[in-house]
Structure 1
Amino acid sequence: MVRERVYVHGGGRRGVDAWPHVDEGDATFVSFPAGSSIDDQAHALADELGGRPVMIFAHSIGAVPVALAAPRLDIAGLVLIEPALYDLARGDTAIERHIGIVTEARSRASVGDLRGFWAILRPLMFGGPFDEERWSEEQALAQRWATTNLPWGHGVRDRMLGGVPTLVVTGGWNDEYEVIAQVLADHGATHRVLPGHEHRPHDSGRFVHVVDEFVAALAS
């Protein structure tokens, strides 16, 4: 039976813009309202998709509401692309380092020090130092990152995906995502690495072939 394919965006582009290589006629694109909480997103997924057999593709932080909603969904197959399921890998050095830096940065933002926030977060997320000359053009981006949902602290547990056939695709560029992928693989997921596109390995020309192999295995 062919399942409806549902695509859940990450923290950047939304809806069809987040999945430019997907045929719109063969997909349902989820687009969460800006500012919605992770809990609201999980409830929205359960309300919208509950009772329908689906195959879900989720990118980055989009994997968090999917995992929370999974026990209430009929998921025939799950494709997680660089899933930000940090709760599954707490205690790992790379995971805790990332959380620690973001927590310190957020503490600056919470007292109104947006520059201080960006000076800490920018090198972590964008690979370059704070530049006073670029501050005016980056201030809006800094404000968005200071208030965006965090992917940890939501109680995601591996049992939420128990029994769901899962493919995890990473880019091989970031230890955090590789650690999370390994945890999922230890619990039965298939893990594939598609280098060359960093946080968007689904932009690789090989991605569709990896998915086709996964779907074929589901049918066997």
Structure 2
Amino acid sequence: MRHVYVHGSGRTGAQAWPTIDPSSGTFVAFDKDAAVPERVAVLEAEHAGSPLTVFAHSLGGVPAALAAHRGVLDVRALVLVEPALYDVARGHSAIERHIAIVTEARAQAAAGDLRAFWALMRPLMFGGPLEVDRWSDERAAAEHWARVTVPWGHGVRPGMLRGIPTLVVTGGWNAEYEAIASVLVDNGGSHQVVAGAQHRPQDLPGFGSVVAAFLRTVAEDLRC
């Protein structure tokens, strides 16, 4: 099966998957401001026609899940790394807290107060408060996060991936991603924790062995 690697909202292409052999598959590089429907369209246009294993990180899990569900792609296996599939876990306290903070922060940005936006977003995303003397250095990051597509409201549903062998890999550090993983397990997926890199378990050497074990199981099931 051909491998396709779908990045999140940060690094793109092969840079988003530093422990993966660059010759092992195709590394997607979306335009940084592309909306989710545009990302789905890119996946379908560029990768239809052959059996795929799709790897997707964070926000990349949203277009990957939607494309897999639509059936245009022949997805034989999914590896979702800290997938930001917030829609599947609505109602969970950690999920609702995150959405509420981002919604309030986006309202500040829309009103023209980028610093107030960052004062809310920085501790949520990076674990530390806004420091006035660092604001000029972090303004570009604030501008980036103020325009990044939010990963909810895209119609992803818990049962969409039933029938597609799915491995969810999380870092074991954040209640939001663990809640999402739990819902996906309840709907037929499997879950492995690769701790030590927080939101980027694909950066760790242990990621490869976890994925290899999953893909061996998928291959055995396909032969049955």
Q: Which TM class, normalised by the smaller chain length? A: over 0.9
Q: Partner of 1:25: helix, strand, or coil?
A: coil
* Structure 1 alignment gaps of length 5 or more: none
**Runs of 4+ that moved beyond 6 A:** none
1:95-106 aligned within 5 A: 95-106=95-106
Match of 1:158 in 2: 158
Whether the 8 Å contact between 2:19 and 2:205 is mirrored in structure 1 is no
Q: CA deviation at 1:21?
A: 1.4
Tell me, in whole angstroms, the C-alpha distance in 2 between the residues paired with 1:121 and 1:23. Answer: 34
Tell me, in whole angstroms, the C-alpha distance in 2 between the residues paired with 1:129 and 1:25. Answer: 40
Tell me, in whole angstroms, the C-alpha distance in 2 between the residues paired with 1:161 and 1:200. Answer: 22
Q: CA deviation at 1:84?
A: 0.2
Q: CA deviation at 1:162?
A: 2.1
Which moves more between the two structures, 172-181 or 71-80? Answer: 71-80
Match of 2:55 in 1: 57
Match of 1:48 in 2: 46
1:1-220 aligned within 5 A: 3-70=1-68, 71=70, 72-220=72-220
Q: CA deviation at 1:34?
A: 2.0
Q: CA deviation at 1:160?
A: 2.5
Q: Partner of 2:119: helix, strand, or coil?
A: helix
| CA deviation vs aligned residue, 1:148-185 (integer Å, no higher than 9, x gap) | 11000001113321211000000000000000000000
What root-mean-square deviation, in Å, do the aligned CA atoms of Structure 1 and Structure 2 show? 0.8
Q: CA deviation at 1:63?
A: 0.3
Percent identical across equivalent pairs? 56
Give the residue type in structure 1 aligned to 2:102. Answer: V
Task: Give the TM-score of the pair, scaled to structure 1.
Answer: 0.97
Give the residue type in structure 1 aligned to 2:46. Answer: E
Give the residue type in structure 1 aligned to 2:32. Answer: A
Whether the 8 Å contact between 2:9 and 2:32 is mirrored in structure 1 is no
* Paired residues, number: 218
* Structure 2 alignment gaps of length 5 or more: none
Whether the 8 Å contact between 2:173 and 2:195 is mirrored in structure 1 is yes
Tell me, in whole angstroms, the C-alpha distance in 2 between the residues paired with 1:107 and 1:150. Answer: 13
Task: Give the TM-score of the pair, scaled to structure 2.
Answer: 0.95
Tell me, in whole angstroms, the C-alpha distance in 2 between the residues paired with 1:210 and 1:217. Answer: 11
Give the residue type in structure 2 aligned to 1:199. Answer: H
Q: Partner of 2:183: helix, strand, or coil?
A: helix
| CA deviation vs aligned residue, 1:63-100 (integer Å, no higher than 9, x gap) | 00011111221111110000000000001100000000
Tell me, in whole angstroms, the C-alpha distance in 2 between the residues paired with 1:96 and 1:62. Answer: 20
